[in-house]
């Protein structure tokens, strides 16, 4: 140890001026005033040298104890920016926002949405490669000689994700997972007469001509079937079950209708389609038909004079909504590998989140015939449905891209699925086109020398349509890594399917989501913002509309507003790729997009008519909505990746938890159950207090960092004065005086600086987190420098940047880091290892997809459903205790 110290001082001696005492005597004897000055200078120099040596010694000691020196990110963070000023804050945002544009978004949409690309197909693999090439091109990744396509579970695939936190340059690759999925073989829908002869046989496919060129060309490329549906045949009499919701089936049971052996005819809407099948299956039905009803098209109908697509905005009566019938609210992902990744050689279980009875999606044209059959005067003859599908292991491809940040181990994740039922111009290619524009924006920034503070990971998920498979398998594969590193997840699915902007998010991201949307211009109306589009509606009105549908729509919108707690950003249910991150791993998440209203051109969801022509002609002419979403998603990503303190509002979350509890109280008081919820309320109030404390700490930590930076600048001013004094001394002695003046072309760029790592109490290396701090300093420095140039003053007069960050700065950085850890811990704290009763895959006790909703969110799900579904006071008490324990633990974490 001592030897090190001596060495350090020796090395220091080489860089500091030679002490006055060792100089050769001059001709003229120094005067006495000069002697005093020299003594003071010598003393100052000695103090400086010892201080610097000590700092150096500490830094080297810390570095020596690091197993991997290159993990000390700080060294990398301050790498020379090669004559470029580091870019942060507003400058970065402005450059980014200038990039996304309509022409490019339309080109991207045409690239993805003019050919079928159902998960697992060749077309799908092609799109995985398009996305890989985009990432390689924009992030400046040289494409390796062998394609970076890795089979999940292999060393290459594991390493690609696990080494994200060690990367020094952007990277991109494709992970291949192996879920069990089905593909359609043949289908039939028939009415059978009493003599056993077929009296009517439906055309079960969609019909198109080349008015819409792609719809015409690919009308039968992907037959109209249900993903993950049961292979088989069913025949029986029809029973109409309305929307197939829990209450619809209950109403039938109460009327004494027996569903055993029947074919249930139900209409799309209200809840996730898989749950319509589940409800029928539980009541003993033989098969299910789900159709698209014109009543659900609001005012955009022939009754109001609108032509059907492709000649107008109304529904094409032959269109069919494909889609998965997975029992999403049990668990998503590959049915045969629940809770663990679907590798090629994974041990598989019998999937229990898929139907045991066959089903078919059908058009309005066919439903009309069947409704006639069971209507007044109908013959109600036997209906036979055939659904032959091929179940097998099918490879799927997630394309992944990484931009490493200064803080490598804090990851901002952004994702969007890429697979479509057919061409999917809206679902998901509108999202893919928006993501494409965001990636181009990041590419422009990278080429200008920008590096984010935190690492950004972009994912293009596959097989979302079959049941959120690509994201779920990756989430299950890297659960531990995600929980350790991912700070937030932003999801995009369909970014444009209608005129109304809707945002959903974890309550901690609600303010952030809204504030940023208020900064993005409205896609078409000057002086309005993206957020104002939350009130927009489509242009196709009319006097005829179904009263029940209109009432349902406004009830849904009101429910959203209530659940959004006055902010307009509602909680997340399910139905897209945030599910595994939020509801199993506890990552604060967000989702957004423009959706339909009852006066929008009918969106032919999961049909051949979700086509490029429809998108360009009716949905988003000019693609300004696509561009607005790209800008908003990018702005959020830049701020999440660039803020010193993560923009997570845990206090709003804590208050939202209390309002969720209010809703449970209402449920209890309107039932005859007796459940005391006040201990839980007390715990939530304690959490609110702890979060308010954290709010203060957030500000204090940020200010401490700013103060430390200021102090360092001051220190450098003093150093400069000392340097000037020494210079005077040297001049006086006739010695040349070193100037710190730099060549003109470099006047406004700055030397690299290195921060030492420090050793924590337990002997582990503590990596100083001060990329942004240094960045801010450099930014200010560069600004001042430019200003001096502007005023024709010599920038060499500027103080030189710090070489050794002070301990105060390192402490401040650690403090910021600790505050961020607590912010991230908030969502994690609502995860219960035991999960939710009967669907343990879901582990978040704050929010889950409703057991009988699928798409919609149920807050405090285990507790709420113990009342609404189980009607069981003992269970409710038990569930209240489980939530209370989590909340208490969370309060402890925040106060730690």
Contacts with Zn ion by CB under 5 A lie at: 427-428, 493
Q: 3-state secondary structure string, 369-420?
A: HHHHHHCCCCCCCEEEEEEEEEEEECCEEEEEEEECCCEEEEEEEEEEECCC
Q: What's the DSSP call for residue 333?
A: S
Using CA atoms, how far residue 114 sits from 106, 110, 239, 424, 425, in Å, is 11, 6, 39, 9, 8
Nearest to 215 by CA among 421, 434, 368, 416: 421
CB of 427 to Zn ion, least distance (A): 4
Using CA atoms, how far residue 790 sits from 742, 784, 786, in Å, is 17, 10, 6
Smaller CB distance to Zn ion: residue 212 or 427? 427
CB of 417 to Zn ion, least distance (A): 6
Catalytic: which of 464, 697, 865, 879?
A: 464
Smaller CB distance to Zn ion: residue 332 or 647? 332
CB of 494 to Zn ion, least distance (A): 6
CB of 185 to Zn ion, least distance (A): 24
Smaller CB distance to Zn ion: residue 274 or 428? 428
Long-range residue pairs from 661-669, CB within 8 A, at least 24 positions apart, any chain: 661/860, 663/859, 663/860, 663/864, 664/860, 664/863, 664/864, 664/867, 667/864, 667/867, 667/868, 668/867, 668/876
Six token digits for residue 618: 């009716």
β-strand partners of 263:
238, 287
Element (H, E) at 698: helix 678-732
CB of 56 to Zn ion, least distance (A): 56
Cβ atoms within 10 A of the Cβ of 698, count?
21
Using CA atoms, how far residue 444 sits from 95, 98, 139, 199, 457, in Å, is 8, 10, 9, 63, 17
Note if 464 is an active site residue: yes
CB of 258 to Zn ion, least distance (A): 37
Smaller CB distance to Zn ion: residue 176 or 420? 420
Smaller CB distance to Zn ion: residue 432 or 637? 432
Nearest to 347 by CA among 336, 331, 362: 336
**Helix, strand and coil in the chain, % to nearest 5:** 45, 15, 40
Element (H, E) at 329: none
CB of 367 to Zn ion, least distance (A): 24
Smaller CB distance to Zn ion: residue 116 or 153? 116
φ, ψ (nearest 5 deg) of residue 557: -65, -40
Q: Judge contact between 173 and 148, C-beta under 8 A.
A: yes
Nearest to 517 by CA among 537, 507, 532: 532
Distance in angstroms (rounded) separating the CA atoms of residues 451 and 436: 19
Smaller CB distance to Zn ion: residue 363 or 495? 495
Q: Judge contact between 482 and 488, C-beta under 8 A.
A: no
CB of 464 to Zn ion, least distance (A): 5
CB of 426 to Zn ion, least distance (A): 8
Distance in angstroms (rounded) separating the CA atoms of residues 651 and 653: 5
Question: Cα torsion for 451, 453, 455, 461, to the nearest 10°?
Answer: -80
Q: Judge contact between 852 and 652, C-beta under 8 A.
A: no
Nearest to 196 by CA among 235, 147, 143, 238: 235
Smaller CB distance to Zn ion: residue 105 or 252? 105
CA triplet 780, 73, 701: central angle to 5 degrees?
55
Q: 3-state secondary structure string, 138-185?
A: HCCCCCCCCCCEEECCCHHHHHHHHCHHHCCCCEEEEEEECCEEEEEE
Smaller CB distance to Zn ion: residue 494 or 637? 494
- CA-CA-CA-CA torsion sign (412, 459, 99, 497): negative
In the chain, the N- to C-terminal Cα span, in Å, equals 35
| Residue ranges in 802-872 assigned as alpha helix (H) | 807-828, 861-868
CB of 630 to Zn ion, least distance (A): 17
Smaller CB distance to Zn ion: residue 429 or 691? 429
| Kind of pairing between the strands at 500-505 and 569-570 | parallel
Smaller CB distance to Zn ion: residue 427 or 879? 427
CB of 606 to Zn ion, least distance (A): 9
Nearest to 83 by CA among 801, 782, 783: 782
Q: 3-state secondary structure string, 863-878?
A: HHHHHHCCCCHHHHHH
Smaller CB distance to Zn ion: residue 298 or 428? 428
Smaller CB distance to Zn ion: residue 109 or 651? 109
CB of 574 to Zn ion, least distance (A): 12
Q: Judge contact between 392 and 231, C-beta under 8 A.
A: no
CB of 431 to Zn ion, least distance (A): 7
Q: Which residues are catalytic?
A: 464
């Amino acid at each position: 140890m001592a030897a090190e110290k001596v060495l350090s001082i020796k090395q220091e001696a080489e860089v500091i001026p030679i002490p006055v005492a060792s100089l050769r005597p001059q001709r003229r004897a120094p005067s006495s005033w000069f002697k005093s000055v020299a003594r003071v200078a010598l003393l100052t120099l000695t103090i400086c040298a010892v201080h610097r040596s000590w700092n150096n010694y500490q830094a080297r000691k810390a570095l020596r104890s690091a197993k991997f020196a290159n993990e000390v990110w700080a060294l990398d963070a301050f790498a020379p920016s090669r004559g470029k000023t580091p870019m942060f804050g507003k400058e970065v945002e402005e450059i980014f926002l200038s990039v996304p544009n309509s022409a490019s978004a339309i080109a991207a949409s045409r690239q993805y949405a003019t050919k079928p690309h159902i998960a697992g197909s060749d077309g799908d693999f092609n799109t995985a490669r398009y996305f890989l090439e985009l990432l390689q091109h924009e992030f400046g990744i040289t494409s390796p000689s062998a394609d970076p396509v890795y089979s999940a579970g292999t060393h290459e695939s594991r390493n690609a994700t696990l080494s994200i936190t060690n990367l020094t340059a952007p990277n991109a690759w494709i992970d291949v997972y192996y879920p069990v999925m089905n593909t359609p073989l043949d289908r039939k829908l028939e009415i059978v007469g009493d003599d056993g002869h077929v009296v009517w046989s439906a055309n079960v496919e969609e019909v198109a001509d080349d008015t819409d060129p792609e719809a015409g060309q690919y009308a039968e490329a992907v037959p109209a079937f249900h993903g993950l549906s049961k292979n088989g045949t069913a025949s029986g009499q029809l029973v109409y079950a309305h929307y197939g919701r829990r209450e619809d089936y209950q109403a039938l049971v109460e009327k004494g209708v027996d569903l055993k052996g029947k074919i249930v005819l139900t209409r799309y809407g209200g809840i996730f389609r898989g749950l319509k099948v589940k409800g029928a299956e539980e009541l003993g039905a033989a098969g299910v038909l789900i159709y698209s009803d014109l009543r659900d098209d609001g005012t955009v109908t022939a009754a109001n004079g609108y032509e059907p697509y492709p000649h107008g905005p109304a529904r094409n009566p032959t269109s069919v909504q494909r889609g998965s019938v997975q029992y999403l609210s049990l668990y998503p992902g590959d049915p045969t590998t629940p809770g663990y990744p679907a590798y090629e050689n994974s041990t598989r279980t019998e999937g229990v989140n898929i139907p045991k009875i066959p089903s078919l999606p059908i058009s309005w044209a066919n439903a009309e015939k069947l409704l006639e059959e069971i209507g007044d005067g109908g013959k109600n003859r036997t209906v036979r449905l055939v659904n032959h599908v091929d179940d097998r292991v099918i490879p799927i491809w997630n394309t992944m891209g990484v931009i490493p940040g200064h803080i490598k181990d804090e990851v901002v994740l952004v994702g969007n699925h890429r697979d479509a039922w057919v061409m999917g111009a809206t679902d998901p290619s509108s999202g893919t086109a928006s993501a494409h524009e965001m990636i181009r924006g990041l590419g422009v920034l990278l080429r200008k020398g920008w590096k984010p503070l935190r690492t950004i990971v972009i994912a293009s998920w596959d097989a979302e349509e079959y049941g959120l498979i690509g994201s779920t398998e990756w989430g299950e594969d890297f659960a531990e890594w995600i929980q350790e590193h991912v700070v937030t997840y932003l999801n995009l699915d369909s970014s444009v399917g209608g005129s109304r902007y809707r945002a959903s998010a974890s309550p901690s991201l609600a303010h952030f989501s809204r504030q940023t949307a208020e900064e993005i211009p409205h896609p078409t109306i000057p002086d309005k913002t993206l957020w104002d589009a939350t009130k927009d509606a489509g242009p196709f009105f009319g006097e005829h509309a179904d009263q029940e549908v209109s009432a349902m729509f406004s009830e849904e919108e009101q429910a959203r507003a209530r659940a959004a707690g006055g902010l307009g950003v509602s909680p997340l249910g399910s139905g897209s790729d945030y599910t595994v991150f939020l509801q199993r791993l506890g990552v604060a998440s967000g989702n957004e997009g423009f959706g339909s209203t009852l006066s929008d051109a009918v969106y032919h969801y999961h049909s051949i008519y979700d086509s490029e022509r429809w998108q360009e002609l009716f949905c988003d002419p000019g693609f300004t909505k696509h561009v607005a979403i790209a800008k908003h998603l990018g702005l959020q990503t830049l701020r999440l990746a660039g803020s010193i303190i993560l923009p997570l509002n845990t206090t709003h979350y804590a208050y939202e938890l209390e309002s969720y509890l209010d809703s449970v109280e209402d449920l209890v008081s309107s039932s005859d159950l007796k459940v005391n919820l006040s201990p839980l309320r007390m715990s939530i109030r304690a959490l609110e207090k702890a979060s308010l404390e954290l709010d203060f700490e957030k500000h204090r930590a940020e200010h401490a960092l700013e103060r430390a930076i200021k102090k360092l600048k001051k220190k450098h001013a003093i150093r400069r004065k000392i340097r000037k004094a020494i210079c005077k001394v040297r001049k006086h002695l006739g010695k040349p005086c070193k100037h710190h003046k730099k060549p003109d072309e470099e006047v406004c760029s700055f030397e690299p600086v290195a921060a030492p790592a420090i050793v924590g109490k337990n002997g582990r290396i503590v990596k100083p987190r001060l990329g942004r701090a240094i960045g801010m300093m450099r930014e200010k420095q560069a600004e001042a420098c430019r200003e001096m140039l502007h005023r024709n003053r010599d920038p060499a007069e500027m103080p030189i940047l710090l070489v050794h960050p002070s301990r105060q700065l390192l402490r401040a950085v650690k403090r910021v880091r600790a505050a961020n850890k607590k912010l991230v811990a908030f969502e994690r704290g609502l995860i219960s290892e035991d999960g939710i009763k009967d669907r343990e895959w879901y582990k978040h006790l704050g929010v889950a997809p409703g057991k009988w909703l699928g798409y919609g969110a149920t807050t405090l799900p285990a507790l709420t459903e113990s009342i609404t579904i189980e009607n069981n006071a003992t269970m409710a008490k038990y569930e209240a205790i489980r939530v209370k324990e989590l909340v208490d633990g969370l309060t402890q974490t925040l106060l730690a």
